Amino acid sequence: MSRNFYILAATLGFFALVSGGMTLVPSNFQPGLPANGSLWRTLALILLLAALASALVGTMSNLFEQVDRRSEETRRTARKRRRGK
């Protein structure tokens, strides 16, 4: 499940880079698109923050899954020891 969050973070990060790059493009090369540079910077910032939040959720999800797996393994080995005696 954490892999999905990493993919989402990468996608949002890519779009944040594209939006940040749009601030450098002159307005006459953007027919039909908003030419306001501050709008593109704001969008890039929002996308970057969303990407960072998604990466954080993916990392935390991965850590909790790992803890869950290890505690399950510990329970199984303890159960085997009790039954073996």
With 0-12 / 13-18 / 19 or more C-beta atoms within 10 angstroms meaning exposed / middle / buried, residue 16 is buried
pTM score of the predicted model: 0.77
Q: Say what the pLDDT of residue 85 is.
A: 62
What is the domain partition of the chain in residue ranges? 2-84
Q: Say what the pLDDT of residue 30 is.
A: 67
Check pLDDT > 70 for residue 53. yes
Q: What's CA 8's distance to the chain center, in Å? A: 5
Band the pLDDT of 39: cuts 50, 70, 90. Answer: confident
Question: What's the half-sphere exposure (Cβ side, CA atoms, 13 Å) at 38?
Answer: 0
In this prediction, residues 24-53 reach a mean pLDDT of 84
DSSP state of 24: T
Tokens coding 32: 């039909």
